[in-house]
Structure 1
């Protein structure tokens, strides 16, 4: 009798575990260490990640979210017209819920727009 109850309990618990995906923080684009974050669920083949880089060789940028496993722990260089580096980004992945958390600084739109205008003024775009 105990064995049947235990087996039923294990089967019910496994049903709850089946549809769970990794939960991560998401930030489309942050400057310096400031990101406006939301929560997101990754696909089965994705991990949480933090991308740290530099735009126009002067502005620190940060992105967070879900990334396919094969894209983890790599450095990407994005170039724009005439081989000018637009930005470089190094991604670091992790495998636990919300493991890509950083300091919880909320970024308002005003500094974000100012940073974009400064980059545009430098002639990068």
Structure 2
């Protein structure tokens, strides 16, 4: 973001070469495929070395929730244990990162899935006619 106008910029300028600002899908709290408690679905990373990524929080072997956005490079592709004093005293998390804009969306549809969806919806479409 341009700090003066609040509008996004394509490059950060400063000493040395300009650096591209990364744009990532942003969701602070996602359960299954539903993003909750997030006003914006995209964000500009504040640090040019940040990567887009997703962090999954696990309780036992089950994903409790995930969050997506900008992740510091040092935190990418890691698994860790967090110990807290709250209700969840111990939980695990793993993070995965990628290096292109919006690469952490988590949504992709492949040709077989698209074909199946078409077969599934065709009778419904004809019934509507």
**TM-score normalised per structure 2:** 0.56
Within 5 Å, give how 1:1-125 maps onto structure 2.
18=18, 20-36=20-36, 38-42=41-45, 43-55=47-59, 58=62, 60-81=64-85, 84-85=89-90, 87-103=91-107
How many residues are treated as equivalent by the alignment? 90
**TM-score normalised per structure 1:** 0.58
Q: Which has the higher helix share?
A: 1
The alignment's C-alpha RMSD in Å is 3.3
Mapped contact 1:33–1:61 kept (Cα < 8 A) = no
> Structure 1, unaligned stretches of length 5 or more?
1-13, 105-125
> Structure 2, unaligned stretches of length 5 or more?
1-10, 109-129
Bigger CA radius of gyration? 1
Mapped contact 1:22–1:47 kept (Cα < 8 A) = yes
More relative contact order in 1 or in 2 (CA 8 Å, sep 6+)? 1
